[in-house]
């Protein structure tokens, strides 16, 4: 099946209020252009260097989302164009994003990554950590970032009950955290769901799904 076909099919399974991020990591420009020519404009990458190269080479109306774990020393390379950073998992990283965004006179939208999976390998903050960031004076002074929501990844398991429970937890956390809106904390986005679990995620309140292999085919590496 072609990329355009896959994309079209997936769109029929996603409600219009849920944004589709086409995860193009490891895939060549030709594959991205095929999706682009089928109308897709939002793409996700998990390595900053790779995303920068693709940004330089591809049409400028693409919205690039950084969905991977962030290396702080590389934030500067994407600060001039990144549209949304999903995986913010420390205050230090958030402050670095703010600093780099300021140099470009931008406000960079970010999601705080919350750890919902029981697996050790998954990144993300616990609820206490998130609350302490959002409630700090220092956070309120960050003028070049805006937290527009939360991101989470469910356990890698065939047990759908576990996956559903983890997404439910993330939705609950996001609802509870929304109480303290602030100038740079305007949460509306809940980024959860990948190829294998996005339907469950949508049922549990996702507003943004990150789908790679179901569009572009399997990857050989991550
Ligand atoms: C790779 C990746 C995805 C997409 O995974 P698929 O299973 O290929 O859909 C989504 N989110 C993150 C954070 C990823 O790294």
Residue 219 CA: which ligand 1 atom is closest?
A: 8
C-alpha–C-alpha distance, residues 156 and 110, integer Å: 24
Closest CA to 88 of 70, 109, 107: 70
| Distance of CA 99 from the midpoint of ligand 1 (Å) | 28
Nearest CA residue ID for atom 12, ligand 1:
67
Looking up tokens 């679990």 gives: 197
pLDDT tens, the chain, 222 aa long = 799 999 999 999 999 999 999 999 999 999 999 999 999 999 999 999 999 999 999 999 999 999 999 999 999 999 999 999 999 999 999 999 999 999 999 999 999 999 998 877 668 999 999 999 999 999 999 999 999 999 999 999 999 999 999 999 999 999 998 877 889 999 999 999 999 999 999 999 999 999 999 999 998 765
The domains of the chain, with CATH numbers, are 3-215 (3.20.20.10)
C-alpha–C-alpha distance, residues 167 and 203, integer Å: 9
Ligand 1 in reach of 211 Cβ (< 6 A): yes
| Distance of CA 24 from the midpoint of ligand 1 (Å) | 9
| Distance of CA 23 from the midpoint of ligand 1 (Å) | 6
CB burial class (10 A; 0-12, 13-18, 19+) of residue 35?
buried
| Distance of CA 211 from the midpoint of ligand 1 (Å) | 6
Ligand 1 in reach of 171 Cβ (< 6 A): no
């Amino acid at each position: 099946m072609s990329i355009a076909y896959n994309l079209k099919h997936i769109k029929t399974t996603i409600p219009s209020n849920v944004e589709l991020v086409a995860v193009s990591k490891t895939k060549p420009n030709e594959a991205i252009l095929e999706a682009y020519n089928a109308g897709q404009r939002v793409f996700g990458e998990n390595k900053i260097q790779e995303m920068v190269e693709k940004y330089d080479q591809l049409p400028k109306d693409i919205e690039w989302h950084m969905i991977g774990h962030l290396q702080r020393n590389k934030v500067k390379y994407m600060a001039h164009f990144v549209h949304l950073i999903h995986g913010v998992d420390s205050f230090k990283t958030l402050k670095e994003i703010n600093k780099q965004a300021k140099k470009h006179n931008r406000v960079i939208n970010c999601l705080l990554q919350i750890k919902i999976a029981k697996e050790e390998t998954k990144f993300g903050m616990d609820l206490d950590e998130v609350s302490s960031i959002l409630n700090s004076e220092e956070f309120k002074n960050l003028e070049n970032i805006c937290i527009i929501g939360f991101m989470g990844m469910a356990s890698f398991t065939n047990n759908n009950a576990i996956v559903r429970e983890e997404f439910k937890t993330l939705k609950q956390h996001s609802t509870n955290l929304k109480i303290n809106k602030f100038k740079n904390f305007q949460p509306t986005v809940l980024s959860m769901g990948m190829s294998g679990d996005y339907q469950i995620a949508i049922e549990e309140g996702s507003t943004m799904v990150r789908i790679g292999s179901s569009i572009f085919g399997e990857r050989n590496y991550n």
